[in-house]
A and B are shown apart, each in its own frame.
Chain A
Amino acid sequence: MGKTHEIPVVWLQASTCSGCSVSVLNASAPKITDLLLSEVIPGRHINLRFQATVMAGSGDPVVEILDRIPKEEPGEYLLVVEGSIPTSDGGLYGTLGEEPMVARVATLARSAQAIVALGTCASFGGMFAAAPNPGGCISVGDLLKREKIDVPAINIPGCPPHPDWFIGTIATVLVAGLDAVETDEHGRPLRFFGQLIHENCPRRAYFDEGKFAEHLSDEGCLYELGCKGTITHADCPLRRWNAGTNWVIGSGAPCNGCTEPEFPDLISPFYVRIPEEALLVPPPRKES
């Protein structure tokens, strides 16, 4: 047995609901305990140094981890950021270890080997950057631009992101490096976000035939009830959620478009039909 390569990971939660963390806890193969305890890729173990939801320590000893790692292990660690970053009033709307989150994220980002913006808030601003954006929240990408930090970053959006999207991306980085992750123009891995929900939706035939649900819980395509599957990139219909148990449209609910940069402001109201001119697919057949 060769020596295990320990990859340090720092996972910071900024302006978040912690739903991304909870979603990753829902990983089924590999499970979260496989990720935490075992060599998730043979010979490689994720050494999770800081993750506030699961870590044992509190207070000064754990803040010390954040203070030391950029100085002692620059270029070695992966930084995972969950949540958008509050910037109003110098960042006083969000503090961690008695320091504004914006300063913590910037310091850790500057010396990271690579950055994963986990969830739609970190990727694009998301829910807490929604109008009128009371905390002045920005995405990780915008922070990197603002602070002129040139460290490679990947966006894994979703509110929350599917655990497979995160673990699959991390595994790719561990095996083949960050450059091996092909992304779209929004920095999303094509492996998971390369197709529209609509392209793989089991209710697609209803759309093509113009058979629409009139009310929630009805049969038919949910387009008239506000479904955003026609403009949303993700593999939910194929991958399904919670170990394949179900998924949004599978439960009769319209897709909320949560993996898109426009979530939530420009993609809501959630239960109102999007205009045909906004569709990324041919419009449905008209009733004759």
Chain B
Amino acid sequence: MRTVTIDPITRIEGHLKIEATIDGGEVKEARSTGTLFRGIELILQGRDPRDACRITQRICGVCPTAHATASTFALDDAFGIADRIPPNGRVIRNLILGCNYIQSHVLHFYHLAALDYVDVTAVASYEGTDLGLLAAKAFVERGALGPFVPRYEGDYRFPIELAQTLAGHYVQAFDIRRKAHELLAVFGGKMPHNVGIVPGGVTQIPEIDTIAGFLWRLNEIRHFIDNVYLPDVLEVAKHYGDYAEIGAGSGKFLDYGAFPQEDGRFLAGGTIGMDLAAAAFDASKITEAVTHSWYEDDAEPRHPTEGKTAPMPTKEGGYSWLKSPRYDGEVYEGGPLARMLLSYARGEQAREIIDGILSELGAPASALNSVLGRHAARAVETKLVADAMADWILELAPGEPVYAPYDIPDEGEGVGLTGAPRGALGHWVRLKDGVIDHYQCVVPTTWNCSPKDDREQPGPAEQAIVGTKIRDEENPFEIVRIVRSFDPCLACAVHMVTPRGRPIGRVAVG
């Protein structure tokens, strides 16, 4: 029996440590640890509520737009204007968030995950004319290989020409994810940390030239998704087929759904299991436990609006800054896989694409609850969102309003729920005397990488690691591939509930 500690897990957002106890070549226990605490909700207390949609973006530089979205939903709700957002405002918000989905998913597959599968040093023998590959070849020939080595050695399975092609796509994908941010900036102003999404709508009125520019920037990215990203995910699946049987989580999934339409949301929300029986979710059933988190103990798990926590970095039995969100007391996984299962159950375009992939791989639907299933779901979701955006952009009415003016009430409460690229994201806000009295975020990675709860149930990522056979303990590919399949975002995940009633003066300029 020995414990393997991987700290830091790189190529994720934020700071994560994984400890795995291995006996007889199999993981018997796993502990997922968020290693950074920041407390942004405490920082929000006492501030102008409108600032929340700027400040909460700083929770995460990879998915700030999702926080801006959840925050504005919560503030629209608290201000009583959720039904007054002009259609242009709703659509542009969706377009901005959609760009974030594309950027986040492309970045994840190529730049965060692919180096676990693709040996990029294969470019040394490249003979073609692709500019990116020639630059990579010159790089390898010079011999200073940071940041691509050191790395785990051994299990790179692609034949050399395919490895070269995929290395070229790794380089090309840097351009595509950059262009997704440029697309976002068309209406969002800048990225990271867009300024376009605000309570009441957005800040920029669409004109015909911006609409046309957006569409054609988008079309270039869609071409990449259809002809490079989706086929590359299939190549990984074909060469690493065993990863359809590795990394199953709790088998219970949850998402809030994303992209409000005139009626319902484009991506379905709800709960679902591997039996594909979907149900509506009830936000009152969400609780967070702190049994193994570095916060003072609490009598029982609490709903986010009732949270009571104080940091305690030396707590006995604690092993993470993450808390343990649970739904109805059970362990649920969020993310693209949850949303694609929900969309599949709703019998949409998602079903057709996913069935096509499963049939090409000759895999049953149960194989989706795996490392490969998460990657495939992410790629399918990227396509669904990007294709829908090409319709949404044409729904915009040039020159028409995007913003509904409002007054900030002294008192109010609001909830903002959205599917974020990595899973279910919720913001809860309470106003008092016109400023933020209480703000709370429950974010995707807190669900997925949470520590054990009050009932000693391990979190989804921990469950996914336990039981895995490790071929080479010096190069534990299996563990990092499992963890990265969740696309963890630790910066989002570590947060803190504000102690009630702690007075913090309002900060003003001047």
* Binary per-residue interface labels of chain A (225-266) against chain B in the complex, 1 for a CB within 8 Å, 0 otherwise: 000000000000000011101111111111010100000111
Interface residues on B, range: 35 or more
In the bound assembly, the distance between CA atoms of A19 and B54 in angstroms comes to 13
Q: A19-B64, A56-B150, A86-B36 are in contact. Are A97 and B507 (CB under 8 A)?
A: no
Q: Quick check: is A288 within 8 A (CB to CB) of the other chain?
A: no
Residues of B within 8 A of A86 (CB): 36-38
Residues of B within 8 A of A48 (CB): 146-147
The segment from A30-38, A146-154, A177-185, A195-203 found at the interface with B is A30-38
Q: Quick check: is B192 within 8 A (CB to CB) of the other chain?
A: yes
User: Which one of A89, A128, A247, A264 contacts B313 once the chains associate, using CB atoms below 8 Å?
Assistant: A89
* Binary per-residue interface labels of chain B (57-100) against chain A in the complex, 1 for a CB within 8 Å, 0 otherwise: 11111101000000000000000000000000000000000000
In the bound assembly, the distance between CA atoms of A97 and B33 in angstroms comes to 12
Residues of A within 8 A of B509 (CB): 266-269, 272, 274-275, 278
User: Which one of B15, B144, B185, B190 contacts A45 once the chains associate, using CB atoms below 8 Å?
Assistant: B144
User: Which one of A97, A251, A258 contacts B203 once the chains associate, using CB atoms below 8 Å?
Assistant: A251
User: Which one of A37, A64, A269, A277 contacts B51 once the chains associate, using CB atoms below 8 Å?
Assistant: A269
B185 touches A159 (CB 8 A): no
In the bound assembly, the distance between CA atoms of A48 and B144 in angstroms comes to 9
Q: A58-B10, A128-B38 are in contact. Are A23 and B61 (CB under 8 A)?
A: yes
Q: Quick check: is B132 within 8 A (CB to CB) of the other chain?
A: yes
- How near does chain A come to B302, taking the closest CB pair, in angstroms? 19
Q: Quick check: is B268 within 8 A (CB to CB) of the other chain?
A: no
User: Which one of A15, A60, A134 contacts B311 once the chains associate, using CB atoms below 8 Å?
Assistant: A134
The segment from B42-50, B242-250, B355-363 found at the interface with A is B42-50
CB-CB nearest in chain A for B171: A33
- How near does chain B come to A212, taking the closest CB pair, in angstroms? 14
In the bound assembly, the distance between CA atoms of A147 and B150 in angstroms comes to 31
A98 touches B17 (CB 8 A): yes
Q: Quick check: is A96 within 8 A (CB to CB) of the other chain?
A: yes
B491 touches A131 (CB 8 A): no
B8 touches A268 (CB 8 A): no
In the bound assembly, the distance between CA atoms of A5 and B39 in angstroms comes to 42
User: Which one of B14, B43, B139, B174 contacts A18 once the chains associate, using CB atoms below 8 Å?
Assistant: B14
The segment from B194-202, B221-229, B269-277, B443-451 found at the interface with A is B194-202
- How near does chain A come to B183, taking the closest CB pair, in angstroms? 8
- How near does chain A come to B192, taking the closest CB pair, in angstroms? 4
Known: A59-B7, A134-B496, A251-B187. 16 other contacts (CB 8 A): A17-B61, A22-B192, A25-B178, A26-B178, A31-B175, A34-B135, A49-B146, A56-B120, A86-B36, A128-B39, A134-B37, A216-B201, A241-B189, A258-B193, A268-B47, A271-B50
The 5 residue pairs across chains A and B that have the minimum distance between CB atoms = A19-B61, A134-B39, A251-B189, A269-B48, A253-B195
